[in-house]
Amino acid sequence: DDSVLRADVKQALNILSNEEKTIVLCSAVAGMSSEEISKMTNLKSGTIRSKLSRALEKLGIVNALNIVIREEA
């Protein structure tokens, strides 16, 4: 059921800070690159990649999901 999945995702995201949630959602859901997220958050793209990695580790999905931050050319 979609409502159960949404509740599970919301619960999982609650362990993240607001900044981490923003980065994870922009990357994983919106498909934004680290450079795009960087411009939106005023953080360096390397910081975005680091924070995304740490957030995914917190969620325990580093190896379970195939999330790749696209590099801007």
pLDDT of residue 14: 85
- Structure confidence by residue, pLDDT tens digits, 14-68: 889 999 999 999 998 899 999 999 999 999 999 999 999 999 888 876 545 544 4
The helices-and-strands tally (H runs, E runs) of the chain is 4, 0
pLDDT of residue 22: 95
Say yes or no to pLDDT of 13 above 50. Answer: yes
Return the closest-CA partner of residue 43 out of 67, 61, 26, 60: 26
Roughly what angle, to the nearest 10 degrees, separates helices 45-59 and 34-41? 100
State the Cα–Cα distance between residues 69 and 53, nearest whole angstrom. Answer: 10
pLDDT reported for residue 57 = 87
- Closest by CA to 13, choosing from 2, 28, 1, is 28
Q: Where are the beta strands (DSSP E) in the chain?
A: none
Q: What is the pLDDT of residue 8?
A: 72
